[in-house]
Amino acid sequence: MEIDEDRSDFEKDEEEDDDSVSDLLRDRFRLSAISIAEYEAAKRNGMEISQPIVACIADLAFKYIGQLAKDLELFAHHAGRKSVTMADVIVSAHRNEHLAASLRSFRDELKAKEPQCERKRKKVPRKDDKAIEGIVHIPDL
């Protein structure tokens, strides 16, 4: 009984630590989301965006990034990898063709910025990269 109580106290402490880390990350994320949201609103003929709306968008984006993390882990695991690659991120956006295309362009820009020595060291594009290019897009019903 005592051992179980100790374990549950330990688990409770761990949970509290986890919650406080999560809160800190959420606050840091909110700051970035606010600056992005205000920038994008200002681009639209100098529009202002009220604080409750920014907070709402930031919270939605934080939930989205949580879901993205879970999806990326599943894709990497499905491919038999422990590390998430750019291919996994692009696959996570496969439901939206324009979004996937934008991400592919960004990926190509990142690859172009890599120094020559890193590019030469990398292997020939793997089969899964080619498979991603040829994904059949089935619209949601």
CA distance readout (Å), 80 to 67, 89, 124, 139: 20, 16, 19, 27
Residue of the chain from 79, 85, 94, 132 that contacts another protein (CB under 8 A)? 85
> Is 135 among the residues that bind another protein (CB under 8 A)?
no
Q: Check binding of 91 to another protein (CB under 8 A).
A: no
Take residue 114 and report the two structure tokens written for it: 């890599």
Question: Do residues 86 and 106 lie in contact, with contact meaning Cβ atoms separated by under 8 Å?
Answer: no
Which of 101, 110, 131, 135 contacts another protein by CB under 8 A? 110
Task: Kindly state whether residue 57 participates in binding another protein, applying the rule CB under 8 A.
Answer: yes
52-59, long-range: CB < 8 A, 24+ apart: 55/30, 57/33, 58/29, 58/30, 58/33, 58/34, 59/26, 59/30
Q: What does the binding site for another protein look like in residue numbers (CB under 8 A)?
A: 18, 21-22, 25, 28-29, 32-33, 35-37, 39-41, 44, 47-50, 53, 56-58, 60-61, 64-66, 68-70, 72-73, 76-77, 82-86, 88-90, 92-93, 99, 102-103, 106-107, 110-111, 115, 118
